Amino acid sequence: MADGYDRFDNEGSGGGSFVMGLLTGTVLGAGLGMLFAPKAGSELRNQLSEQAGNLANTASEGVRRAQESAGEWADRGRDMYDKAKDAVSRGSEEAQRYVREATGGSQPSSSSPSSSAAYGSPSSSPSGSPSSRRS
């Protein structure tokens, strides 16, 4: 790799340029073959017109399928986004509730002892040591 070229750098393209080149070569070869074939002009024009119509139909069918596929992927993406958004929202709410409960029980006891016992606060234990606070 003295020149810095890595043949695996272009693997992400999926070979699309090769396929496009192959298709282009096929179409050009077929067109040139028909142009140089010994046929009458009207037959050749009719055949070229028919081939062009077939190619147009094939292309429009491919576009239609690609649009349907893209729509399906967009719908899947929206669904995944909504699920992730809901999961993050639930997680955030749960974390906030946990923080409220944790900070509500560990504040200095300015309230009555029965209120801290209602939350199950570990700070209501007489020793107050860290080992006795773990649940």
pLDDT given for residue 81 in this prediction: 95
Structure tokens at 34: 């028909």
pLDDT given for residue 96 in this prediction: 93
Distance, in Å, from the CA atom of 24 to the CA atom of 113, rounded to the nearest integer, reads 83
pLDDT single digits (tens) 57-93 = 888 888 889 898 899 999 999 999 999 999 999 999 9
Distance, in Å, from the CA atom of 13 to the CA atom of 26, rounded to the nearest integer, reads 21
Number of residues that make up the chain: 135
pLDDT given for residue 14 in this prediction: 57
Entry pTM? 0.36
pLDDT single digits (tens) 6-21 = 555 555 555 678 888 8
Q: Are 117 and 124 in contact (CB under 8 A)?
A: yes
